[in-house]
Chains A and B, each alone.
Chain A
Amino acid sequence: MSVSGDVGKDFLRPPRIARALVALFAAAPVRHALLNDLAERFVEMAREDPGCARRWYWGQALRCLSPAHRVGLPHRRRLGSGLARRSAVSGGVQDVRHATRALIKQPGFALTAVLTLGIGIGGTTAIFSVVNGVLLRPLPYAEPDRLVNLWQVNKSWFDSPNLSLRSWAEEFPASMPTFHDWEELSSVFENVGAYDDRSYTLLEGDRPERVYGTRVTSGVWRALGVAPLLGRTFGPEDDVLGAAPMAILNHGFWERRFGGDSSVVGTTIHLNETAYTVVGVMPEGFYFPSDGYSVWTTFDEESKATDRSTQYLFAIARLEPDISLARAQLEMEALTQRLVESRGHNPDFGVRLVARMRQVVGDVQLILLVLLGAVAIVLLIACVNIANMLLVRATDRRRELAIRSALGAWRGRLVRQLLSESLVLGVLGGLCGVVIALATFKPLIAALPTGIPRANEIALDHRVLLFAAAISVLTGLLAGSLPAIRAGRAEVLETLQDGGRSSTAGRRRNWTQGSLVVAEIALALVLLVAAGLLVKSLSQLTSVERGFDSERVLTFRFAVPASGLGRPARSSMPRPATSLSPEQVNQLEYVTPMVARLAAVPGVEFVALADNMPFMGGTSSGTTTLETSSGMHETNVERSAVSPWYFRALGIPIIRGREFTADDGPNGVRVTIVSRGMAQQYWPNENPLGRRLKRSTLEAASPWLTVVGVAADVRHQGLDVEPRPKMYMPYAQSPRSRVDVLLKSRVPPAVVADAIREAVADYDPTVPLPDIRELESVISSSVAVPQFRTGVVSLLALVAGLLAVIGVYGVLAYTMAQRRSEIGIRMALGAKQSDVVKSVIGRGALLAGIGLAIGTALAWAAVKSLNSFLFQTSTHDPVMFVTAALVLAGAALAASCLPARRATKIDPVEALRAE
C-alpha cells in the first residue's frame, strides 16, 4: 500500500459504517458532540497510524450499541423505557421476549403474517429440496467430479434427416475393441470401464421376475471407487475370455429378494438361464448408472468377443489427478487421430468427454432453476406484504414510539425491538414453512415427472433445513428493515404535535407503501404471463392431432425367450421359405399362437404386434430406395414392422389400399404400407399403389417391396415431434425377438389386464408376467414434465396474484382508515358518496396501473427464457399479456371495492368526534 496513494480525503474520515453506528445508536443529547470529537481524535490518530485509528474508532462505535454506555452505572431504572438495563446479550433476549408478547397481543396479525411467510418459505424449501437432490448433492462415488463419460461421435450422422440420429450422433456408443484401445493407450485416465444395461429374468423361487441389470467391466469399479458392503467387486481377471460369470447385488435388491442374508455371497443365481456367482453386495445408497438397477454382472463371452462394428457400450473413466476435462478432451482427440492411422479406426468417428454429473442431470438444470426463481418471486411478494403490514403497525405505534423517544429512549433500542419482532415472525414463518414442506413432501415427489434424474436423492436433508433457516432469518430481516429504519427516524416533535394527521412523514410513508404494492403487482403479472403461456403450450400439446386413437389400448413389451424356441409348433403353419433366418422362423412360430391366445381373451377386440409402438421409445429408420416417376430416389425414412390389425387396433385410418392380412406372410409377396406424408412427398398427385421400394441402396440385396396401402400420419416419437415419412412392413416378413404387443379392448382396460396376464402365463409359464400399461398413461407420461412445470408455475402465479391483491386491499384499507376524519369532513361539507368511492377506487386503479405497466415491461423481457419450453406458442403473444393484465386489474379493482364501500359508511359526525 503506497503512502502517497493515501493522501486525500479518505485518510481523514472515520470509517463510514462505524460512523453510521454512532449516528444511529448514540444517545440523543451527546450524539452531535460525540460525532465531532471522535472524528477529530480519529484524524489526529490517523496521521500517525491509520490502522490503529480505525481500530480505536470501531471500538468506540461498537460501544454505542450497548445500553451500558448510556448509564455507566449498574441497576438504575430509566424513565420511560420500562426495561432494566443489562448486558447487550440479555438485552437481545429481552427484545425477543418483548416481541413475542407484542405478537401474542395481536393474534390476527401474527397468524396472517406467519402463515403468509410459511407458505412462501415452505414452497421455496420444497423446490430447493428438489434442486438440492438433483443438482447439488454429490454422486455416491469417490470424488465424483473426476468422473467422465466417454463417447464416440458419429460425424456422418450430423446431417441426418432423422431427429433421433442427429441427437445420438454426439453420444454414440463404443465397440469392445475401441474400449480396449482407450483403456490401454489413454494417458489421461486413472481408470476406464465399460458398461451396458440389460434386463434379465431372474429365475429364483416360484415366480420369475424381471430385473434390470448392468454389465460392467472391472474398470468401472475402480473408476467409481466405492468399496462393497460384502464380498468383492470385479477384478481384471474377471474381464478375460473364459472367466466365470459373476454378479454383484444392489443393496435394496439384496434386502428385498434375499432377505439381507450375508451368506448370499458365493451362491449362484440364474439370470436369463445363465448361472452367475454372487461375489459381492454394494452398500446402501450406492447406485449406478442410476437408481433402479438391481444387479451388476460381468460381460458374457459373446459380448467380450464382439468386433468394431458392434457399437453398444457406454464408458466411464476417472481423470488423472491434475488433468482438466478440457485437456483430457484434447488428448483423447489426438489419440483418436493416432488410432485412425495406426489401428485402422473409422475416421468418421470422433471422441467426446462429458462430466458424469452433467451426463446424469442433463437438461433438467434450466427448468429447476426457473422454478426456483419463480418461487423466490412469490417469497419476495410475501415479504413485501409482511413489510407493509409491519409498516402499518409501526406507524400505528408511532405516538408510543415518539413519546418514548422524547423521554430518552434510545433510538437504536427501538430499531432493535422492531427488527426482533420481524425476526421472530421470520423464524416462526420458517418453522411453519418447514412443517408445510414436510407435509407436502410425499405428494411433491409423487407429482414429479419420471424423467427427473436422481429423484431418489431428493430429501429434506441438513442442507435443505439450513437453507430454510437461512431464508427465514433473511426474510424476517428484509421484511422488518424498512419499518425499523422508518421508526428510527420518527420525527418526534412533529408526530406529537399534529396527532398523527398527514404530515410529510405521513406522505412519505404512503408513498413507500404504494410503491411496495406496485412492485408486488408487477411481479405477480410476470408470473401470471408465464403461467398463461405454459398453460396454452400444454393445451396445444395435448390437443395436437396424434393420428391414432389410444382409448382403451393396452400395451406391453415382450421378449421371446430363448427357451421358448424349438417347442413343437402349435399351429399347422407350413415351414416358410428361406427368406427368414431360422431364429426368425422360431420367433414367428412362438408369437403367432400367443397372439391368437390373447385375442381369445374376453373383452379384447384386436391384438397386434409392432417392433416399436408410438411413444414407446425411439424408432428405426434407414436408407430406402424408391421408384418414382422421376427415376430412382434414395432417401431416409422411418420404418416399422407391424402385424395385421395394427392399424385397426390403433384407429389409424387407411386412406388408400388395404391393411396387412394373414396372407402377407413369409412366403407371400413382399409388401409395404406408406404414410400419407411419404406418399405426398415422393408420389405427389399420383396413385402410389403398385409403386416399389426397397431397403438400403439400389445395389443392395434386399428385396423390392410393393406399396399396397397408404396410412394416415402418426405422431410416433412424441406429441411435439412432427411426423416423418414412414413405411410399414408386415411383421411376419421380418420378425424380431423383442416386440411390443398391443391390445384394443372393448371394456375398460383395468378389467382385462389380469386376464391378459393370465393368458400369457398360461401360454408360457417360464416368462415373467408382462408389465401391462395403458397407452393413454404412456402418452400422459410423455407430457409429464411439461405438465409438472405448468402446474407449479400456475400455482405460484395464483398465490402471487392473491398476495398482490391482498396487498392492494391492505394499503387502501389503511389509507382510508388514516383519512377517516378528512373523509368525514368532506362528506359533512357536501361531498357525495360516489365521490368518496371514486377517490378510493381511483387510488387503487392508479397503483394497479403503474404496477401493470412495470410488470408488462418486466414480463416482456423475462418470457424469452421460456422459449424452449413452449410448443406452438409464441412468447410475445400480445393477447396473453393483455389477458393477464386484465385479470390482475380486475382483481385489484375488486379488492378496492371493499374499502370504498366502507368509506361510504363513515359517519361524518363520529369521524370528527374521534379525532
Chain B
Amino acid sequence: MTKGDHLGEFELVVLLALARLDETAYGMSIYDEIVATTGRDVSVPAVYVTLSRLEKKGYVTSRVGESAEDHGGRSKKYYTILPAGLSALTLSRSMYDSLWAGVSLKPRASKS
C-alpha cells in the first residue's frame, strides 16, 4: 500500500459494493448494488472512473470477460478485489470505528 493513500469516500463506497458482490463484478452491477443498498442516485461515469483509479492504485484488477451474458461481441470488463484492496478496506474501517467510538449524536447544552 502506498504511503498516505487513504480511501476517499466514493472509492470506499465502490470498493465496498464490489466486496458485497462476492468480489467480482462489472461496472453496471456495482452501480446497481450501490443504488439498491444506499438508495443514493449515483453517477455511472463516476463509478467507472473510480474503478479505473482503484485499478491504478492496485486495489482491484480487471479482466475482459467471456461470461455467459456476453453477446453481440460486446465484452465486459470484470473487476476483482485484490488483497491490497481488502487491506485498505480493513484500515479504513478501523479508522472510522476509532473516530465513531464514544460519539454521542445528541447536541450539548449551550454554555451560558
- Beta-carbon nearest neighbor of B51 in chain A: A30
Given A29-B52, A72-B8, residue A34 in contact with residue B45 (CB < 8 A): yes
**Contact yes or no, B46 A34, CB < 8 A:** no
How far is it, in angstroms, between the C-alpha of A30 and the C-alpha of B76 when the chains are bound?
Answer: 12
Question: CB < 8 Å: which of B11, B14, B49 contacts A69?
Answer: B49
Within 8 A of B (CB), among A1-41: 22, 26-27, 29-30, 33-34, 36-38, 40-41
Question: CB < 8 Å: which of B9, B45, B76, B77 contacts A73?
Answer: B9
**A36 to chain B: which residues have CB within 8 Å?**
74, 76
B59 at the interface (CB under 8 A from A): no
**Contact yes or no, A30 B45, CB < 8 A:** yes
The contact string, 1 if C-beta is below 8 Å from chain A, for chain B 56-71, is: 0000000000000000
Minimum Cβ distance to chain A for residue B40 (Å): 13
**B27 to chain A: which residues have CB within 8 Å?**
33-34, 37
Given A29-B52, A37-B26, residue A63 in contact with residue B10 (CB < 8 A): no
B28 at the interface (CB under 8 A from A): yes
A886 at the interface (CB under 8 A from B): no
Within 8 A of A (CB), among B12-64: 14, 26-28, 43-46, 48-52
**Contact yes or no, A40 B74, CB < 8 A:** yes
How far is it, in angstroms, between the C-alpha of A26 and the C-alpha of B11 when the chains are bound?
Answer: 19
A249 at the interface (CB under 8 A from B): no
A738 at the interface (CB under 8 A from B): no
A68 at the interface (CB under 8 A from B): yes
A395 at the interface (CB under 8 A from B): no
Minimum Cβ distance to chain A for residue B79 (Å): 11
**Contact yes or no, B46 A72, CB < 8 A:** yes
**B76 to chain A: which residues have CB within 8 Å?**
33, 36-37
A71 at the interface (CB under 8 A from B): yes
Minimum Cβ distance to chain B for residue A627 (Å): 100
**A68 to chain B: which residues have CB within 8 Å?**
46
**Contact yes or no, A69 B77, CB < 8 A:** no
**Contact yes or no, B43 A73, CB < 8 A:** no
Query: Which among B8, B11, B44, B74 has the greatest number of chain A C-beta atoms within 10 A?
Result: B44
- Beta-carbon nearest neighbor of A73 in chain B: B8
How far is it, in angstroms, between the C-alpha of A373 and the C-alpha of B54 when the chains are bound?
Answer: 58
Secondary structure at the B interface, as helix, strand, loop or mixed, is: helix
**Contact yes or no, B45 A64, CB < 8 A:** yes
**B74 to chain A: which residues have CB within 8 Å?**
36, 40
Minimum Cβ distance to chain A for residue B14 (Å): 8
**Contact yes or no, A41 B49, CB < 8 A:** no
Minimum Cβ distance to chain A for residue B32 (Å): 9
**Contact yes or no, A30 B11, CB < 8 A:** no
**A70 to chain B: which residues have CB within 8 Å?**
45-46, 49
A833 at the interface (CB under 8 A from B): no
A60 at the interface (CB under 8 A from B): yes
Query: Which among B27, B44, B45 has the greatest number of chain A C-beta atoms within 10 A?
Result: B45
How far is it, in angstroms, between the C-alpha of A22 and the C-alpha of B26 when the chains are bound?
Answer: 19
**A38 to chain B: which residues have CB within 8 Å?**
44
The contact string, 1 if C-beta is below 8 Å from chain B, for chain A 335-368, is: 0000000000000000000000000000000000
Minimum Cβ distance to chain B for residue A883 (Å): 60
**A33 to chain B: which residues have CB within 8 Å?**
27, 48, 76-77
The contact string, 1 if C-beta is below 8 Å from chain A, for chain B 1-12, is: 000000011110
**Contact yes or no, A69 B43, CB < 8 A:** yes
**B44 to chain A: which residues have CB within 8 Å?**
34, 37-38, 60, 63
**Contact yes or no, B10 A26, CB < 8 A:** no
**Contact yes or no, A73 B10, CB < 8 A:** yes
Question: CB < 8 Å: which of B8, B46, B51 contacts A63?
Answer: B46
**Contact yes or no, B49 A30, CB < 8 A:** yes
**A40 to chain B: which residues have CB within 8 Å?**
28, 74
**B45 to chain A: which residues have CB within 8 Å?**
22, 26-27, 30, 34, 60, 63-64, 69-70
- Beta-carbon nearest neighbor of A65 in chain B: B45
How far is it, in angstroms, between the C-alpha of A60 and the C-alpha of B14 when the chains are bound?
Answer: 17
**Contact yes or no, A63 B26, CB < 8 A:** no
How far is it, in angstroms, between the C-alpha of A69 and the C-alpha of B10 when the chains are bound?
Answer: 11
**B50 to chain A: which residues have CB within 8 Å?**
72
**A60 to chain B: which residues have CB within 8 Å?**
43-45
**B10 to chain A: which residues have CB within 8 Å?**
72-73
**Contact yes or no, B28 A41, CB < 8 A:** yes
How far is it, in angstroms, between the C-alpha of A41 and the C-alpha of B76 when the chains are bound?
Answer: 13
- Beta-carbon nearest neighbor of A70 in chain B: B49
**A73 to chain B: which residues have CB within 8 Å?**
8-11
**B28 to chain A: which residues have CB within 8 Å?**
37, 40-41
Minimum Cβ distance to chain B for residue A89 (Å): 17
Query: Which among A30, A60, A69 has the greatest number of chain B C-beta atoms within 10 A?
Result: A30
**A27 to chain B: which residues have CB within 8 Å?**
45, 49, 52
- Beta-carbon nearest neighbor of B44 in chain A: A60
- Beta-carbon nearest neighbor of B77 in chain A: A33
**A69 to chain B: which residues have CB within 8 Å?**
43, 45-46, 49
Query: Which among A34, A37, A40 has the greatest number of chain B C-beta atoms within 10 A?
Result: A37
- Beta-carbon nearest neighbor of B7 in chain A: A73
- Beta-carbon nearest neighbor of A30 in chain B: B48
How far is it, in angstroms, between the C-alpha of A76 and the C-alpha of B4 when the chains are bound?
Answer: 13
**Contact yes or no, A63 B43, CB < 8 A:** yes
- Beta-carbon nearest neighbor of B43 in chain A: A63
How far is it, in angstroms, between the C-alpha of A76 and the C-alpha of B9 when the chains are bound?
Answer: 13
- Beta-carbon nearest neighbor of A22 in chain B: B45
Within 8 A of B (CB), among A30-63: 30, 33-34, 36-38, 40-41, 60, 63
- Beta-carbon nearest neighbor of B72 in chain A: A40
Within 8 A of A (CB), among B83-99: none
Query: Which among A22, A60, A63, A72 has the greatest number of chain B C-beta atoms within 10 A?
Result: A72
**A30 to chain B: which residues have CB within 8 Å?**
45, 48-49, 51-52
Minimum Cβ distance to chain A for residue B69 (Å): 9
**A72 to chain B: which residues have CB within 8 Å?**
8, 10-11, 14, 46, 49-50
- Beta-carbon nearest neighbor of A44 in chain B: B28
How far is it, in angstroms, between the C-alpha of A467 and the C-alpha of B110 when the chains are bound?
Answer: 59
**A34 to chain B: which residues have CB within 8 Å?**
27, 44-45, 48
Minimum Cβ distance to chain A for residue B53 (Å): 8
The contact string, 1 if C-beta is below 8 Å from chain B, for chain A 887-905, is: 0000000000000000000
- Beta-carbon nearest neighbor of A25 in chain B: B45
- Beta-carbon nearest neighbor of B64 in chain A: A33
How far is it, in angstroms, between the C-alpha of A63 and the C-alpha of B26 when the chains are bound?
Answer: 20
**A37 to chain B: which residues have CB within 8 Å?**
26-28, 44, 48, 76
**B8 to chain A: which residues have CB within 8 Å?**
72-73, 76
Minimum Cβ distance to chain B for residue A39 (Å): 8
- Beta-carbon nearest neighbor of B50 in chain A: A72
Query: Which among B46, B51, B52 has the greatest number of chain A C-beta atoms within 10 A?
Result: B46
Minimum Cβ distance to chain A for residue B47 (Å): 8
How far is it, in angstroms, between the C-alpha of A37 and the C-alpha of B32 when the chains are bound?
Answer: 12
**A22 to chain B: which residues have CB within 8 Å?**
45
How far is it, in angstroms, between the C-alpha of A22 and the C-alpha of B45 when the chains are bound?
Answer: 9
Task: List 21 A-B pairs, Cβ < 8 Å.
Answer: A26-B45, A27-B45, A27-B49, A29-B49, A30-B49, A33-B77, A34-B44, A36-B76, A37-B28, A37-B44, A37-B48, A40-B74, A64-B45, A68-B46, A69-B43, A70-B45, A70-B49, A72-B14, A72-B50, A73-B8, A73-B10
Which residues in B have some Cβ–Cβ distance to A below 8 Å? 8-11, 14, 26-28, 43-46, 48-52, 74, 76-77
Q: 17 more A-B contacts (CB under 8 A) besides A30-B48, A63-B43, A69-B45?
A: A27-B45, A30-B52, A34-B44, A37-B26, A37-B28, A37-B44, A40-B28, A40-B74, A60-B44, A63-B46, A69-B43, A70-B45, A71-B49, A72-B50, A73-B8, A73-B9, A73-B10
